[in-house]
Amino acid sequence: MTHEKLQPFKHSGFQGVIGVAREEITPPIGIYARLWGASTHDVAEGIHKPLSLTALTIQRDNAEPPLVLVSADLSWWRTPDDEYYVRSAVVEELGIPAANVMVNLTHTHSGASICREDADKPGGHLIAPYMEKVRNALKTATSNALQSARSAVIEWTYGKCTLAVERDLPDPDSDRYLSGFHPNTPADDTLLIGRVSDANSAHIATIINYACHPVTLAYQNRLISPDFVGAMRELVEANTDSALCLFLQGASGELSARDTFTTPDVADSQGRELGYAVLSTLEGMLPFRTQLRFTGIVESGSPLPIWQSEPTYFPENISAEQIAVTFDLQNMPTLSELDAQIAESTDRFLTERLVRKRRIRRAVGEGATTDMPLWVWRVGDSLLVGHPNEAYNALQTELRAHFAPTPVVVTNVTNGHFGYLPPDPLYSENIYPVWQSPFGKGGLGRLIAEAKKAGDALLSEESEA
């Protein structure tokens, strides 16, 4: 038997200058909030839980431009102009490179419209002022995070949570798929936690990366809500000395909770399920900036290995890349054809679907291909990968397998939104993520390949430094 030399055991991490701050972004009651085609109402009639925007700034030192990582309780962007209107509050006004900013939406399906083109809808006059509120919140939260920034570390560990289930369900009565719980089909239960602590070991923030569509509250719901994310955040913050949580929506294209399209109390229960998984994972971490070193053996009934706790340190390296990934487009109607279909439609549900498709067509253009951005960051000895679309879970499982043991944060709905990225075999099926998406077959594989290439380059550069 060959014995390998035992290396110290420690979490992956980063040490540098880190700040965190939060702003409230709850929209007003009465705002246009029809996010579901099946909804019979147009405006929000109440508040289940407030919405928030939390910014984390990461620097090697105070002299360099920060990385800005944001979690915002918003749904999804309808136009690139609206997305950049908000993000530009940091990129342009604070003079931060575009590659250094990732604004991840928690993807609640119970928020307000964040599309200023909906101004003609009931409650639509409230959208533009609300968008200005969100834009100002991003700017303020980022500025406050930078002002409060201090020497700190991020330590990463993986955990488990069984909240998410497979939601591509074959219709038992027809040749199509439904979007809902598919029993007895395994789903990715991976939870990635980043514990942020200051130099005095005080817990100041928790980064939570988990893949699960927030669709517990759906077409019947008339309340503004962060869905399950709200109760999760309340529980975790109450048990971590009010350390602010950043929930980062993972690659959840085919994942949601088991109980969906239901009531606020169910969403709160699901949030607590995720919250307790987060707390359990945090409880199992090593103490602040600690590693275990094998120091010898005690002979007993069996030989006992002795692991000694000792201080450790983490790398300070930071790199950020923004990459253009070219996707083939599906055969979609032209803008003029969609305009004609919208003009002829008398069905409210069909009209809503056509309007959404027109916005997507306008955003990706009328050519055969389109370029989509991909953000890849190296933070210490971890990677963060963000993109604007709704990739299936293979994006995170394949990247994490490729880069193991390096922890990899993977986020959907980051800095934009256009459509789904399902795996190739589904393109022969009658399924919503395929016919909703503008992207043709091969897109998910191309995104994975480009993310691997970019991550390999960043890790190689840092290892040689």
Closest CA to 248 of 194, 321, 198, 284: 194
Q: What is the mean pLDDT of residues 395-420?
A: 97
Identify the residue with better confidence: 78 or 351: 78
Q: Does residue 463 have a pLDDT over 80?
A: no
Q: CB-based contacts of 286: which residues, under 8 Å, 6+ apart?
A: 10, 11, 155, 292, 309
Q: Does residue 94 have a pLDDT over 90?
A: no
The DSSP element (H or E) to which 63 belongs, if any, is none
pLDDT in tens, 29-74: 999 999 998 899 999 999 999 999 999 999 999 999 999 999 999 9
Residues written for the chain? 465
Alpha helices in 31-126 (DSSP H): 80-91
pLDDT in tens, 173-230: 999 999 999 998 899 999 999 999 999 999 999 999 999 999 999 999 999 999 999 9
Q: Does residue 464 have a pLDDT over 50?
A: no
Q: How is the chain split into domains, by residue range? A: 12-286
Q: Which residue has the tokens 């909030």?
A: 33
Please state, for a pLDDT cut of 70, what percent of the chain lies above it.
98
Q: Is 224 helix (H, G, I), strand (E, B) or coil?
A: strand
pLDDT at 1: 55
Provide the 8-state DSSP code for 175. Answer: S
Q: Does residue 465 have a pLDDT over 60?
A: no
pLDDT in tens, 295-337: 999 999 999 999 999 999 999 999 999 999 999 999 888 888 8
Q: What is the mean pLDDT of residues 82-107?
A: 96
Q: Does residue 254 have a pLDDT over 50?
A: yes
pLDDT in tens, 96-143: 999 999 999 999 999 999 999 999 999 999 999 999 999 999 999 999
Q: Is 435 helix (H, G, I), strand (E, B) or coil?
A: helix
Contact 52, 63 (CB under 8 A): no
pLDDT at 3: 61
The DSSP element (H or E) to which 452 belongs, if any, is helix 443-464
pLDDT at 257: 96
Contact 206, 280 (CB under 8 A): no
pLDDT in tens, 332-371: 888 888 888 888 888 877 887 788 888 888 888 888 999 9
Q: For 323, what's the count of Cα atoms within 13 Å in the CB-facing half-sphere?
A: 24
Adjacent-strand bridge partners of 157: 193
pLDDT at 462: 52
Q: What is the mean pLDDT of residues 421-442?
A: 95
Please state, for a pLDDT cut of 90, what percent of the chain lies above it.
88
What is the average pLDDT value for the chain, to the nearest integer? 95
pLDDT at 357: 82
Q: What is the mean pLDDT of residues 266-291?
A: 98
